[in-house]
Structures are given as structure tokens and as C-alpha cells.
Amino acid sequence: LRFLVLHGPNLNLLGTREPGHYGHVTLADINQSLIELGDTLGIEISTFQSNHEGELVDRIHQAASDNIDGIIINPAAYTHTSIALRDALLAISIPFIEVHLSNIHRREEFRHHSMLADAATGIVAGFGATSYLLALRGLQDHLRQI
Ligand code: DQA
């Protein structure tokens, strides 16, 4: 299996950004632990981070031609605003899991709504970097069942 992991805006700053919400783990640490778990499970992991909505849209389109089996996406702030990311994910019809480091439902009201969640196979939020690893296991399990 091949999974694509997408990280949205400001996640390049993990490690120093609002540690009370996001901890001290860096994006490189998260990607490394995903690749290691992927190795154990026999899943090839590609990762991509962008601060630009259109670049994330382009990378989602590319996933279809790259024969990606599943997507794990932390859309960051675009979670709450982006019809474009939603439409891109619906267009390629590859199953995806929405991931958040923080529990968005115990934060500000404007973070409670996701533009993507009702199109997702599943959502994991609130476990810090572990959210991504849970998503990886969950997506593998989902793909085994279909
Ligand atoms: C986030 C939650 C979003 O509300 C926020 O804009 C982020 C990170 C998270 O991982 O907890 O940038 O997606």
C-alpha cells in the first residue's frame, strides 16, 4: 500500500509553535515516526507540507496519478475554511483520514466545524503526534476491509 501524508499551513513550525496546543514534537519527527511505522506495516509513506492551499490541491490531484491508496491529512487552518481541499479530495475519491494534533472540539468555536470531516473515512484529534500514527493504523484497517 502507498499512503500520502499531507500537512497544511504553519505545521512546518511544529516544535516551537504554541507548544501548549501542539507539544514540542517537530514535523520531521512526525514524518519519521510515520515512515518507521509504515516500514513495520509494509506501507510506503510519502509526506508533503505546504502553507499554500493551491499547492495542497495540486498534490491531492497528483495522488490519483501516483496510485496512492489512502491519504492522511492535517489540513490545519484550512480545515475550517477550504471548500477547495474538500472538492479536491472528493474529485479523486481516495479514502482519507482527517488528523489534528489538538482536540479541535475543546478549543475555540470556529475550530469546531470542519469542511472535510463528513467526507472523511475517519477523524483522529487530540492525541498530539500519536494522532497521525492512529490514523495510519486505522486507514490500513479500513483498506483491508473494503
Ligand atoms: C490543527 C487544528 C487547527 O484548528 C489549527 O488551525 C492548526 C492545527 C491541529 O492539528 O490541531 O493549524 O489542525
| pLDDT tens-place string over residues 3-13 | 999 999 999 99
Q: Is 101 annotated as a binding residue?
A: yes
Residues with Cβ within 8 Å of residue 104, at least 6 apart in sequence: 79, 111, 112, 114, 125
ipTM above 0.95, yes or no: yes
**Quick one: angle between helices 83-92 and 53-65, nearest 10?**
0
**What's the average model confidence in pLDDT over 64-82?**
98
Q: Is 22 a catalytic residue?
A: yes
Indicate the top mutation candidate among 49, 102, 114 to test ligand 1's pocket, ranked by most ligand atoms within 8 A of CB: 102
Nearest CA owner, ligand 1 atom 8 = 76
Ligand 1 centroid to 74 CA: how many Å? 7
CA distance to 21, 39, 102, 141, per residue, from 126 (Å): 9, 25, 4, 21
Per-residue pLDDT at 146:
80
Element at 2 (helix H, strand E): strand 2-7
Tell whether the model's pLDDT for residue 45 goes beyond 90. yes
| Ligand 1 nearest-atom number relative to CA 75 | 13
Which residue is catalytic, options 7, 22, 78, 132? Answer: 22
Whether residue 37 is predicted with pLDDT greater than 90 in this model: the reply is yes
d(CA 49, CA 59): 10
CATH class of 2-145: alpha beta
Could you tell me if 97 and 138 are in contact, meaning their C-beta atoms sit under 8 angstroms apart? yes
Ligand 1 mean position, distance from CA 121 (Å): 19
